[in-house]
Amino acid sequence: MSTARKGPLLAPPADPPPRPVRWDDDEDDDVEPPKRKAWYSYLPLLAAVILMLLPHPSLLIVLVNYHLLVLNSPAQFLTHLAITYTLTFLAFSSLILILARDPGPVDADKAPETTAGSLDDMDFMQALLATEDLEPQTQAPGRWCKKCAASKPERTHHCSTCGRCVLKMDHHCFWLGDRCIGHRTYSAFIHLLTCITLLSVYVAALCVEAVYFAFTNPLAIDENTPLHDIYLAFYGIIMTLVFGSFWIYHLYLVTTNQTTLEHLSPYLLLRHLPPLPEQTDQSHFLSNPPLEHELSYAQRRVVREAHFHLRIYDVGWRKNWGQVVGWDRPWGWLHRLTVGGGGKGDGRTFPHNPRADDLLARLAAEIVAVDKHE
């Protein structure tokens, strides 16, 4: 009696289906996790604090000897003293906030819900951050950080120096405690640049006037005060050129709703592309979405040119500023400019430019079309 041969009782398990996860290409597996920050990593922060305090002894000498003793104007003395030290206090307040606040923790298990059904369960702070006119897009599925072994919300990047992901990471700053500037600290960073730039302009204008007075009235003032005037005038002009240019650049980024990484990395657009049209050239097959190293020179040029006018998160300069700095009411920017503030939303989802999907579809079609004509 013959029996049919049966298969083994223990069959090897079938290959698991591929996970719908898109690994980020800006991260390397071979990079070791960073060690704890050493004491010398805070030396740039110490240098930044010294630079902020360095002109104040000479500034007090100029205010006392020139405005109080020579001009005999206590009102001008008190006005200049109040303005300079108010801006200095606000700058240090923003600096302390940047150092004390986490730039953007990523915790997928505690992501707040902002749907209409969960409005009743919000606490007071979440209700203040909620908005009706800007409805955020849902998080793109499948984004995963292979270093943190966790999901990556929209606009989140992994900082190799900090060894973690940061929500809406703008850049890593060695001058500010070797920390990242992210969703929760970017508005304080803008406030810090604003205060330092305004203080530098004010000190430069104040001391240039004093230098002019010293040269036109050499016998009306002592011989040491003009030296402090010249030193502060050059110091204020140099600080204005350095921090002012950086401040103007970030004003442009806020107005167009871009981060430094997004503005300097045009190939981040590839992550947002829809599925590419059918590709006939199998010798140069592109992934979906395409990776940067897969693109030819002509395709890279197309992406770079599209980067100049395709801003995915630009929803108009008013809403951009309201979203980044965090205000809803008219003239709310005045309060934020005075005391600073935090960004609007949870840092995980962001409203999209209504034209972004069409522009991304055109970019995907153009990438394939350029490949056919090569």
Question: Which residues belong to the active site?
Answer: 173
- Chain centroid to Cα 346, Å, comes to 15
Q: Tell me which DSSP letter residue 168 carries.
A: T
* Kind plus residue range of the DSSP H or E element containing 204: helix 186-216
Under 8 Å between Cβ of 179 and 187: no
Q: What is the largest CA-CA distance in the chain?
A: 129
| 3-state DSSP helix/strand/coil % of the chain, to nearest 5 | 55, 5, 40
DSSP code per residue over 57-123: HHHHHHIIIIIIIIS--HHHHHHHHHHHHHHHHHHHHHHHHHHHS-S----GGGPPP-SGGGGGG--
Under 8 Å between Cβ of 203 and 84: yes
| 157-159/164-166 β-pairing | antiparallel
* Kind plus residue range of the DSSP H or E element containing 240: helix 225-256
Sign, CA torsion 360/366/367/369: positive
The Cα–Cα gap between 130 and 107 comes to 19
CA dist list (Å): 249 to 183, 202, 288: 18, 20, 33
343: three-class secondary structure by DSSP: coil
Q: Tokens 């810090």, residue? A: 192
